[in-house]
């Protein structure tokens, strides 16, 4: 038996190429491969960096889709199903929209693959695939070390993705993580994480956890276990970590180089509406920056625009990022992901431009998909774009460079240069990307 694993892209450009920047090893595919018995042959294609040989023989195609990659994932599924090859769809979007996904697949894997993947393979052998597979609530997860051999021969950055836990205990209204994991956090066993890191070829690790500090006690244990491994790591965390001096010391000692933090808004009323109480409990955003920088920890700050901000809020946010000489600041606009409270709210207020923006022909990456309250959707789209360009113009890059944190070691200065000098190019190229791909390619893919 042979399985083809595929990670779908957002879509290719008119000339057929994807926008290449920061395409990392897709961990979910390596987990799935690890759960697959050794007797089964497997091959993996990354739609973001290579062409898929659709005519190759295979018994099953497993495609991972997120909301932005769903349209392209469905095109790929259709190509295989026309040849009567079974397709299973999984990933975040398949979990958020199983009914939609099942229109394009023979089976849908809802939630985590652990605990159901082997059953699905057994059913496939008997030609008795069920429409959906979902792990029973409360059943034990079978933790594995991801099979990274499937990445051989593909050129990914020399950063390994590792998961130390899944989920987050907070409940921000725009976040699909909280919906997927129902405000819960599931740590992986420490001995497996340590064993996995010891097997890696790269010394730089991106812990892909949604909030690595979600459970403080567990975070302490994890960081202590990382110290002897002498790695450099980055991750995502909520800003309440700044109130825990001991944890910050452990982060630094265990090799933390930087963290992505959702600052979301400078306006505390907006934070309340977002359900981002964790940010409101902090003295000030300047305090967060000062504290993390005092430990030489870089900050990749993300903001969510679309909660009724005026142009002044954009200016203030830009000033905040430049004044604090941040590594990176993302002017993101609100994205109504299906299944989130904000999606339901915008839908009930009839403010969604399209019910399913992720399948809307002509919808481009970066387009605002709802009616903001105080400006048009295109104004918000353009404001986010123009402030991205302002934050990453040469003057701002040089000004922010005058921060000793960026010069603390060769990894930090390289990351500063790459992230900042690539940002404008990435914004421009991604901006033109049609969800699902250019019309000529979509047509070709449906033939």
Residues forming contacts to ligand SF4 in the complex (CB under 6 A) are 168, 170-172, 175, 177-178, 210-211, 238, 262
How near is the Cβ of 164 to ligand SF4 at its closest, in Å? 14
In whole angstroms, the minimum distance from the beta carbon of 392 to ligand SF4 comes to 23
**In the complex with ligand SF4, which residue's Cβ is closer, 177 or 368?**
177
Rounded distance, CA 253 to CA 400, Å?
25
Residue count (the chain): 447
Closest to ligand SF4 by CB, 75 vs 164, is 164
Contact 224, 247 (CB under 8 A): no
Q: Return the number of the residue (18 or 170) whose C-beta is nearest ligand SF4.
A: 170
CB 363 within 8 A of CB 357: yes
Nearest distance from C-beta of residue 170 to ligand SF4, angstroms: 4
Pick 40 or 266: Cβ nearer ligand SF4: 266
Shortest distance in whole angstroms from residue 77 CB to ligand SF4: 28
Specify the residue, 9 or 265, whose C-beta has the smaller distance to ligand SF4. Answer: 265
**In 3D, which of 91, 83, 34, 38 has the Cα closest to residue 62?**
91
Min dist. Cβ of residue 239 to ligand SF4 (A): 9
Q: Say if residues 56 and 83 touch (Cβ distance below 8 Å).
A: no
d(CA 271, CA 273): 5
Residues 6+ apart with CB under 8 A from 367: 357, 377, 381
Which residues, including other chains, have CB under 8 Å from residue 99's CB and lie 6 or more apart?
A: none
Helices (H) and strands (E) in the chain, counts: 18, 14
Provide the minimum distance between the beta carbon of 168 and ligand SF4 in the complex, in angstroms, as a whole number: 3
Task: Give me the least distance between CB of 296 and ligand SF4, in Å please.
Answer: 23
Q: 């603390």: which residue's tokens?
A: 408
- In the bound state with ligand SF4, the residue whose beta carbon lies nearer, of 279 and 317, is 279
In angstroms, the CA 77 to CA 61 distance is: 8
What are the beta bridge partners of residue 235?
259
Tell me whether residue 180 or residue 391 sits nearer to ligand SF4 (CB atom): 180
């Amino acid at each position: 038996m042979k399985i083809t694993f595929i990670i779908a892209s957002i879509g290719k450009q008119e000339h057929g190429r994807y926008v290449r920047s920061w395409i990392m090893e897709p961990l979910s595919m390596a987990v799935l491969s690890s759960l697959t018995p050794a007797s089964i042959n497997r091959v993996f294609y990354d739609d973001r960096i290579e062409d898929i040989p659709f005519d190759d023989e295979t018994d099953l195609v497993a495609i991972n889709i997120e909301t932005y990659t769903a349209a392209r994932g469905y095109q790929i599924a259709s190509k295989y199903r026309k040849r009567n090859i079974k397709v299973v769809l999984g990933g975040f979007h398949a979990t958020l929209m199983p009914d939609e996904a099942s229109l394009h697949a023979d089976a849908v894997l809802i939630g985590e693959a652990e605990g159901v993947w082997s059953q699905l393979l057994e059913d496939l052998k008997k030609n008795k695939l069920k429409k959906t597979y979902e792990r029973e609530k409360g059943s034990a997860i079978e933790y594995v070390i991801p099979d990274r051999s499937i990445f051989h021969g593909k050129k990914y950055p020399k950063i390994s993705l590792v998961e130390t836990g899944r989920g987050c205990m907070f409940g921000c209204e725009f976040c699909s993580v909280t919906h997927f994991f129902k405000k819960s956090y599931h740590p992986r066993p420490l001995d497996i994480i340590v064993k996995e890191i010891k097997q890696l070829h790269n010394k730089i690790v991106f812990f892909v956890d949604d909030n690595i500090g979600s459970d403080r006690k567990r975070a302490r244990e994890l960081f202590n276990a990382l110290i002897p491994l002498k790695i450099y790591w980055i991750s995502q965390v909520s800003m309440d970590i700044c109130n825990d001096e001991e944890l910050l010391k452990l982060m630094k000692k265990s090799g933390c180089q930087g963290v992505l933090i959702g600052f979301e808004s400078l306006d505390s009323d907006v934070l309340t509406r977002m359900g981002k109480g964790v940010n409101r409990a902090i003295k000030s955003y300047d305090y967060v920056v000062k504290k993390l920088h005092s430990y030489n920890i870089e900050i990749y700050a993300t903001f969510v625009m679309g909660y009724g901000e005026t142009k002044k809020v954009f200016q203030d946010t830009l000033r905040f990022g430049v004044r604090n000489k941040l590594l990176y600041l993302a002017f993101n606009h609100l994205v109504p992901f299906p299944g989130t409270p904000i999606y339901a709210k915008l839908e009930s207020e009839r403010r969604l431009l399209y019910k399913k923006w992720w399948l809307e022909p002509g919808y481009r990456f970066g387009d605002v998909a709802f009616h903001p309250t105080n400006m048009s959707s295109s104004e918000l789209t353009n404001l986010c774009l123009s402030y991205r360009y302002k934050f990453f113009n040469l003057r701002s890059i040089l000004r922010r460079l005058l921060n000793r944190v960026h010069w603390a070691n060769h990894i930090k200065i390289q990351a500063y240069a790459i992230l900042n000098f690539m940002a404008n190019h990435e914004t421009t190229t991604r901006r033109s990307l049609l969800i699902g791909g250019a019309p000529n390619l979509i047509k070709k893919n449906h033939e």
